[in-house]
Chain A
Amino acid sequence: MTAQKREARAVDASPVRGDSPAITGAGMTAFANADDRSLLELLLVAAERALDDADRDPAGVDSVHVGNMAAEAFNERSGLANALVGGLGMTGVTARRIENTSASGASAFQSAVAAVASGRSDRALAVGGEKMSAADTATATEIISRITHDREYEQGVTLPSFGGLAAAAYLRGSDADRRDLARVAVKNHANASSNEYAQFRKRIAVDDVLASPAVAEPLRLYDCCPTSDGAAAVLIESGPAESDDAVRVAACESATGTHAVADRADPLEIESVRTAGERAYDAAGFGADAVDIACIHDAFTILEWLEMEELGLAPAGRAWELTRDGETDLDGALPVNPGGGLKARGHPLGATGISQVIELVWQLRGDLPDERAVDGAARGLAVNVAGFGNNAVCTLLEGDA
């Protein structure tokens, strides 16, 4: 988007309902440590569920946007978009795969939203998935560490390594203590316990987090998201929406950061998240104050705090207070990761960004059972992050209050 366009949109601060793309269907597979089905089958199941939810036939879809990071490495296959449309009996549509590491799902969603917003597509299907169980842990670690700069790679740096460095610096620079950080994982597990799509439905306590094995000090195993199998899909249509149930896409914006994490002036800053958030607020015509629920990319507990601060959902250096005070709990002022987040819902790389959007859709439509519903939520935010801030996609959705 040009600066000029951005300015024009910011001036018109009252977006007209029905003008923006709308999400008319959402569906996903339950995320799991290992799912016996193939990656393609997972994508097909999620796509069918989204179409069923929208009460649409595949024939009505004119573009398909598939998010996946590493099917070549995990599953020894490529050509996912063509295989998926073939499985859905579709020909003559526009279809492609979008790869943006752990934000592949949100990037596929952004591509689908852009296709509808530009008028090139009337109905766009965004489908994301990953089947990580096909590789052993060492191979998965190696695949994921390959996204780093060569000078990072040679040091043996992994994504949890950056999380450990950030957590150590944050805890030293604030009054937060290690138990506060553990509360992020405790909350997200509690939220997942009633989410039938979540990988971990077991409640945990602060002491469980502190007793789990050290991964990248001060981060422990229960501070880190798992590897997962799963897929998620949404159908996006041009407005005005025919259904009262449709959720409006108020904004979907992205931004890159530096490739090498240490090239940032401050290791606690994730400027890609900040920039994507600012662009999204500008485009939507509302800001952080208007957000009722948020799905944050909590690949590590520390990231929930850092990203909330970048997005203006918490004052700089003070997101930990919201966690300690219960403000981010399901019944707090700003519920964060109501579906369990990456930590407990799971993190099948290419599916995650779309699963965040789905959680918001279900919350905004009021589809969820009482024990895991956020009352009266009208606006939701999702942020999906590639690597340790290489790239970020921020989505703002609006439903009927």
Chain B
Amino acid sequence: MTDLLECRDCGHRTYYEKHRCLECGGAEFDAVPAGNGELLSVTTVHVTPEGVREPNALGLAAFPGGANVVAQLDEELSIGDEVRLVGDRELRVTEDGPLWGVRIAAAE
């Protein structure tokens, strides 16, 4: 769950699944561990959709291979911090039950 998708043709990585690689158009991806990244920005959102925690602290982090991720912060973090993805977090509740996914946490 904390993996990224690496394009088999060009090596570019993304967190956002798609049919084709944005860099080269390649169609095959391998799951690879995200590793450690850097927190580029943070915000605390005070008006959130139903089923989402309020306030919702979010971060934008850059990981190796060109992959950026926007995700909930798992703890208090600042711009410039070294971070990693942690999985199995309950992110929001919908009519069909909870959605599980990753959050951003301090690197170990």
Given contacts A142-B50, A164-B43, contact A156 B16 (CB under 8 A): no
The listed residue (B17, B22, B91) touching A156 by CB distance below 8 A is B91
- Cβ of A38 < 8 Å from any Cβ of B? no
Q: Is the CB of B43 within 8 A of A155?
A: no
Q: Is the CB of B42 within 8 A of A158?
A: no
Given contacts A165-B60, A166-B41, contact A267 B68 (CB under 8 A): yes
> Which residues, 201 to 249 on A, are CB-close (under 8 Å) to B?
213-219
- Cβ of A265 < 8 Å from any Cβ of B? yes
Q: Which residue of B lies closest to A145 (CB)?
A: B49
> Which residues, 53 to 99 on B, are CB-close (under 8 Å) to A?
53, 56, 58-60, 66, 68-72, 79, 91-92, 99
Binds B, one of A101-109, A255-263, A283-291, A369-377: A255-263
Q: Is the CB of B43 within 8 A of A154?
A: no
CB distance from A82 to the nearest CB of B (A): 33
Assembled-state Cα–Cα distance A88/B72 (Å): 49
The listed residue (B69, B79, B91) touching A172 by CB distance below 8 A is B79
Q: Which residue of A lies closest to B91 (CB)?
A: A154
- Cβ of B10 < 8 Å from any Cβ of A? no
The listed residue (A151, A158, A168, A218) touching B47 by CB distance below 8 A is A158
CB distance from A132 to the nearest CB of B (A): 15
Q: Is the CB of B92 within 8 A of A165?
A: no
Q: Which residue of A lies closest to B50 (CB)?
A: A138
- Cβ of A135 < 8 Å from any Cβ of B? no
Q: Is the CB of A261 within 8 A of B70?
A: yes
> Which residues, 153 to 188 on A, are CB-close (under 8 Å) to B?
154-158, 160-162, 164-169, 172
Assembled-state Cα–Cα distance A217/B57 (Å): 9
Assembled-state Cα–Cα distance A337/B66 (Å): 35
CB distance from A13 to the nearest CB of B (A): 33
Q: Which residue of A lies closest to B53 (CB)?
A: A156
Residues in B neighbouring A151, C-beta threshold 8 A: 15-17, 101
Residues in A neighbouring B22, C-beta threshold 8 A: 258, 263
Given contacts A154-B101, A156-B92, A217-B43, contact A165 B70 (CB under 8 A): yes
Assembled-state Cα–Cα distance A100/B41 (Å): 28
Q: How big is the A interface, by class?
A: 35 or more
Assembled-state Cα–Cα distance A168/B42 (Å): 7
The listed residue (A150, A161, A260) touching B43 by CB distance below 8 A is A161
Q: Is the CB of B16 within 8 A of A262?
A: yes
Assembled-state Cα–Cα distance A332/B101 (Å): 48
CB distance from A181 to the nearest CB of B (A): 14
Residues in B neighbouring A215, C-beta threshold 8 A: 45-47
CB distance from B52 to the nearest CB of A (A): 3
Hey, what's the 0/1 contact readout for A264-297 against B, CB within 8 Å counting as 1? Answer: 1101000000000000000000000000000000
Q: Is the CB of B71 within 8 A of A155?
A: yes
Q: Is the CB of B41 within 8 A of A169?
A: yes
Q: Is the CB of A158 within 8 A of B45?
A: yes
Residues in A neighbouring B79, C-beta threshold 8 A: 168-169, 172
The listed residue (A155, A218, A262) touching B91 by CB distance below 8 A is A155
- Cβ of B31 < 8 Å from any Cβ of A? no
Q: Is the CB of B46 within 8 A of A155?
A: no
Q: Which residue of B lies closest to A264 (CB)?
A: B68
Q: Is the CB of B45 within 8 A of A262?
A: no
- Cβ of A149 < 8 Å from any Cβ of B? yes
- Cβ of A141 < 8 Å from any Cβ of B? yes
Q: Is the CB of B70 within 8 A of A155?
A: yes
Q: Is the CB of A165 within 8 A of B41?
A: yes
CB distance from B37 to the nearest CB of A (A): 11
Interface centre among B43, B66, B92 (most CB of A within 10 A): B43
CB distance from A162 to the nearest CB of B (A): 8
- Cβ of A35 < 8 Å from any Cβ of B? no
Q: Is the CB of B16 within 8 A of A155?
A: no
Assembled-state Cα–Cα distance A145/B50 (Å): 11
- Cβ of A152 < 8 Å from any Cβ of B? yes
Assembled-state Cα–Cα distance A158/B70 (Å): 11
The listed residue (A150, A164, A167, A264) touching B45 by CB distance below 8 A is A164
* 19 contacting pairs across A/B (C-beta < 8 A): A145-B49, A152-B16, A155-B58, A155-B71, A155-B72, A156-B52, A156-B91, A160-B47, A164-B45, A165-B60, A165-B70, A168-B43, A168-B79, A169-B79, A213-B46, A215-B47, A260-B15, A265-B66, A265-B68
Nearest 3 interchain pairs by C-beta = A156-B52, A164-B43, A260-B16
Q: Which residues of A contact B (CB under 8 A)?
A: 138, 141-142, 145, 149-152, 154-158, 160-162, 164-169, 172, 213-219, 258-265, 267
Please name 12 further chain A to chain B contacts, defined as beta carbons within 8 Å, in addition to the given A155-B92, A162-B70, A164-B45, sorted by A numbering.
A141-B49, A145-B49, A156-B48, A157-B58, A161-B45, A164-B44, A165-B43, A168-B43, A214-B44, A216-B44, A260-B15, A262-B16
